[in-house]
Each structure stands twice: as C-alpha cells, then as structure tokens.
C-alpha cells in the first residue's frame, strides 16, 4: 500500500476511534482494523508524528495528542451529547466541538484564581463572550515544546 494512502487511512482510523471511545487506538488495534502489519502501522504513526499530524508519548508509538484531542486528562474537559473528551488547551477545547459540529461546553479553571470557566458553544458560536484567553507565546512557537513532559 502507498505510504500516503496508508497514512491518511491510519490518521482517519485514529480520529474515528478517538471519537468513539474517547481514547486513541494502539498501533496493534490500528493494524488489525486496517489490515496492516504492526510494522506498517508503527511506521505510519511515526510518519504522522514527524508531519505533526499526531503527537506520540515520548519514547513510544502511543498517541498522546491528535489535535484537538488529548489522550490524557487536561484542564480542558469537553462535554457534548453525553460524551466527554479532553482538549489540549483553551484553543483545542472548542476545536473538539467544531470538529464534531456539535453544541457543548468546555469546562476549565482560571489558572490565576481557580474560578470555574465554562465555554459554552451553541450553533458553532461562543454563547458568552466574557473573559480573555491569553496565549503566552506566539502561535509560530507552539510546537517548540510539544511533547516535553
């Protein structure tokens, strides 16, 4: 199978599984689900990580992030349709809802005072525009420390 086609299929499989189960599939599950060898699936995960399509846990081929989704709990709990996911940041939380074309909420806390913050999305729009999101670094530098534990 052409690597480009395999990588596209693997990425789609990761996202579908992530959305169905709120956790990404293992390399073995992906290989089985797509009728690939484990080595082919592993190589695809590594190419996807190198292309910044997914982020792997350091030193593994386990998916840590498939933006906007996080495989580990974060301060950005996304709730929609009776399901819960974790976004990686204040940007990715609403991004999960946008990806799903769904209404929902992102629950987080102010990092300064600890106050509960609810970002409610209805019909693709933020229901309340109160508050400020501050990005401490420019977007061009966001990948500088991705994967640093």
Task: Give per-residue pLDDT as tens, 52-76.
Answer: 999 999 999 999 999 999 999 999 9
| pLDDT at res. 147 | 64
Query: What is the pLDDT at residue 37?
Result: 95
Q: Is residue 87 located within the same domain as residue 124?
A: yes
Per-chain mean pLDDT for the chain: 91
Q: How many domains does the chain have?
A: 2
Both 75 and 127 in a single domain? yes
Does 74 lie in the same domain as 56? no
Lowest mean pLDDT among 79-83, 98-102, 136-140: 136-140
Q: What is the CATH number of the domain that holds 85?
A: 3.15.10.60
pTM of the model: 0.86
Domain of 11, CATH number, reads 1.10.10.10
Q: How far apart are CA 106 and CA 95, in angstroms?
A: 10
Spatial neighbors of 78 by CB under 8 A, at least 6 apart, are 84, 85, 86, 87, 93, 96, 97, 104, 105, 106
d(CA 28, CA 41): 8
- In this predicted structure, what is the pLDDT of residue 1? 57
**E strands in the chain:** 55-56, 63-66, 69-70, 76-80, 83-87, 104-109, 116-122, 125-126
**Residue 38 resides in a domain:** yes
């Amino acid at each position: 199978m052409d690597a480009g086609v395999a990588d596209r299929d693997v990425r789609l499989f990761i996202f579908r599984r992530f959305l169905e189960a709120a956790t990404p599939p293992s390399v073995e599950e992906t290989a089985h689900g797509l009728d690939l060898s484990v080595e082919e699936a592993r190589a695809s995960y590594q190419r996807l990580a190198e292309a910044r399509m997914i982020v792997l846990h350091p030193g593994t081929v386990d998916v840590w992030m498939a933006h906007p989704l996080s495989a580990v709990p974060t301060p950005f709990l996304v709730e929609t349709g009776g399901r819960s996911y974790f976004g990686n940041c204040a940007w990715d939380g609403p991004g999960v809802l946008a990806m799903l074309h769904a209404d929902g909420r992102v629950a987080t806390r102010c990092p300064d005072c600890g106050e509960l913050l609810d970002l409610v999305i209805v019909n693709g729009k933020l229901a309340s525009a109160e508050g400020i999101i501050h990005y401490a670094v420019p977007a061009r530098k966001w990948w500088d420390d991705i994967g640093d534990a």
